[in-house]
Chain A
Amino acid sequence: MSGPSQAISADEIITIELTVNGTPRRGYAEARKTLADFLREDLALTGTHLGCEHGVCGACTVLVDGEPARACLMLAVQAHGCEVRTIEGLAPEGTLGPLQRAMWENHSFQCGFCTPGFLMQITALLAENPAPSEAEVREALAGNLCRCTGYQSIVRGVLAAIGAPPAGG
């Protein structure tokens, strides 16, 4: 961005250009702003939720260039030039995509706080492995916490979405 001879400043406002859910977006932020806060505060995409803010709970998971990433462990400036997909990009507003519908029908979520992170992580899993086993689903979701402890119904919803028999027979 700039050469070493320039003085450094922590107050600098940096221009960040990226693609979010297929739309080019631009924002201005301090370097210290995380991608999660940038999405929520600067781009008004509040579907991405922040739980722990240090990479443990997975609620803020988004896709960056197709790969799942914790939006709280990425600075917004690191996403400059990247393609980001958030929960808002899973289906047109007011509608449910097939994964969302399957999880809704299986009562996968109770309070809904962890939902965006789970759905983005599952979306990443299914993009790489369209027919995961139940064990693979559980492995992929092990980094997402649900404090309502609805894990059984979450796994059931994923298996329903891929047309697999329900967990536990």
Chain B
Amino acid sequence: MKPPPFAYRAPESLGEALALLAEHGDDAKVLAGGQSLVPLLNLRLARPALLVDLARVPGLAGVDQRDGGLALGAMARERTLERSQLVRRLAPLLSAALPFIGHPAIRSRGTLGGSLAHADPAAELPAVAAALDAEMVVLSAARGERTVAAKDFFSGFFSTALEPDEILTEVRIPRLATGMGVCFMEVARRHGDFAMVGVAVAVRLEAGNIAEARLALTGVAQVPVRAIDAERSLVGAAPDPTRFAGVAEAVADGLEPRSDLHGSSGYRRQVARALVRRALAVASRRAAVHNSQRDLGEGDTG
């Protein structure tokens, strides 16, 4: 239960960090908040030759508004994002999901970029990134900067599009249309555990009907699942329980979650069905509240 030996560097510039990765490639691991990597080291499931700690690289932990959306540094701590009024205003779905990650002592160290790059198939943030069409800004010494859409970023079980010489530096989250009602729900064995199934939902209503919907799930596949067909089928529909039950049924039928000691595939599908139905209802109610506040007068935007 102690980490195996490894070398350690804490570069003080991004260039230095990228050079280390260029030189050591697959033998090196990036250390962000350490809340996933250090347990793997302690259990000796990971044995990197070199850890490159990004904590002393300046400029990687920003929480900024850009082009109407959010530009979040990959090293921004989950607890910082959870407390941020800017995040609450521009990406309320992210704010809703953050309290489900571990516990306060985990979130005070854990980072946005660390969670996304680790790509645990049951983690909350990858599903939120998928639902919000987040863009990952990725840097390497050899090829410079590239941007990867969330739908292309998660490539498999604990796998991403990141190459061994690349660092995820920033996550851009486009702003949703005003008036979106959001909801994040999950079922876990114990509070703070990874989700058996989690759902991230955003809904906007116009004239009482659904004008736009976002729906992503975690814990049901090797990567976060964005339910695009369900989203499309909801547009123009009334936000009624029967419709939500039908959509939830269709989403669940399309899933093939794996079985493990926490739950069978069939059980996970059943949980997904219930959560999709409930989260759509909650998000729609919240969207209706937004609209009624808007109709009551400007200046009170909730």
Chain A interface residues toward B at CB < 8 A: 1-4, 8-12, 14, 30-32, 34, 37, 53-55, 58, 61, 64, 67-70, 72-75, 77-78, 80, 121, 124-125, 139-140, 142-143
Least CB distance from B53 to A in Å reads 7
The reply to whether A8 and B9 contact each other, CB–CB distance below 8 Å, is yes
Q: A4-B20, A10-B49 are in contact. Are A121 and B7 (CB under 8 A)?
A: no
Give the residues in chain B near A74, CB-CB below 8 Å.
34, 38, 109
Min distance, Cβ B97 to any Cβ of chain A, angstroms: 16
Are B8 and A12 interface neighbours, CB within 8 A?
Answer: yes
- Do residues A32 and B6 form an inter-chain contact, with CB atoms below 8 A? yes
CA A72 – CA B37 in complex, angstroms?
12
CB distance from A128 to the nearest CB of B (A): 9
What chain B residues lie within 8 Å of A30 (beta carbons)?
5
B82 to chain A, nearest CB (A): 12
- A73, A80, A125, A143 — most chain B CB neighbours (10 Å): A73
Find chain B residues with CB under 8 A from A9 CB: 7
The distance in angstroms between the C-alpha atoms of A125 and B20, with both chains bound, is 39
For B16, give its contact among A4, A69, A142 (CB under 8 Å).
A4
The 9 residue pairs across chains A and B that have the minimum distance between CB atoms = A143-B103, A31-B8, A8-B7, A10-B5, A67-B108, A68-B105, A32-B3, A53-B1, A54-B39
Known: A8-B50, A34-B2, A78-B31. 20 other contacts (CB 8 A): A3-B16, A10-B6, A10-B49, A31-B7, A31-B51, A32-B5, A32-B6, A53-B42, A54-B39, A55-B38, A61-B105, A68-B104, A70-B35, A72-B42, A73-B42, A75-B34, A77-B10, A121-B104, A143-B102, A143-B106
Smallest CB separation, B19 vs chain A (Å): 4
| Residue B211 CB within 8 A of the other chain | no
Instruction: Indicate which residue in B7, B23, B31 contacts A12 across the interface (CB closer than 8 Å).
Output: B7
Q: How many B residues, CB 8 Å from partner?
A: 40
CB-defined contacts of B7 to chain A, threshold 8 Å: 8-10, 12, 31
Q: How many angstroms between the C-alpha atoms of A2 and B11 in the bound complex? A: 7
Minimum CB–CB distance from A27 to chain B (whole Å) comes to 15
Whether B35 and A73, one on each chain, are in contact in the complex, defined by CB atoms closer than 8 angstroms, is: yes
The distance in angstroms between the C-alpha atoms of A15 and B110, with both chains bound, is 25
In Å, the complex CA distance between A106 and B22 comes to 57
Q: Which residue of A lies closest to B23 (CB)?
A: A4
Most chain B CB atoms below 10 A, which of A37, A69, A125, A140: A69
Q: Does B41 contact A (CB under 8 A)?
A: yes
Q: Are B39 and A73 within 8 A (Cβ)?
A: yes
A37 CA to B39 CA, complexed, in Å: 14
Q: B: which residues have CB within 8 A of A?
A: 1-11, 16, 19-20, 23-24, 31, 34-35, 38-39, 41-43, 49-51, 53, 55, 79, 102-106, 108-109, 190-192
30 contacts between A and B (CB under 8 A): A1-B9, A1-B10, A2-B9, A8-B9, A8-B50, A10-B7, A12-B8, A31-B8, A32-B2, A32-B4, A53-B2, A55-B35, A55-B39, A61-B105, A64-B108, A67-B105, A67-B109, A69-B108, A70-B106, A70-B109, A72-B38, A73-B42, A73-B106, A75-B3, A75-B51, A78-B53, A78-B55, A121-B105, A139-B191, A143-B105
A69 to B2, CA, bound (A): 18
B104 touches A54 (CB 8 A): no
Find A54's partner among B1, B11, B51 (CB 8 Å cutoff): B1
* Closest residue of A by beta carbon distance from B109: A69
- Which residue of chain A has its CB nearest to the CB of B191? A142
Would B103 and A31 count as touching, CB distance under 8 A? Answer: no
User: Which residue, of B1, B16, B53, B103, has the highest number of chain A Cβ atoms within 10 A?
Assistant: B103
Task: Judge whether A34 and B3 touch: CB under 8 Å.
Answer: yes
* Contact call B24/A8, Cβ cutoff below 8 A: yes
Q: Separation in Å of the B151 CB from the closest CB of chain A?
A: 30
| Chain B residues whose CB sits within 8 angstroms of the CB of A3 once the complex forms | 16
| Interchain CA distance A4-B28 in the complex, whole Å | 12
Q: A34–B8 contact, CB under 8 A?
A: no
Rounded to whole Å, the gap between the CB of B49 and the closest CB of chain A is 7
Residues of A within 8 A of B20 (CB): 4
CB-defined contacts of B2 to chain A, threshold 8 Å: 32, 34, 37, 53
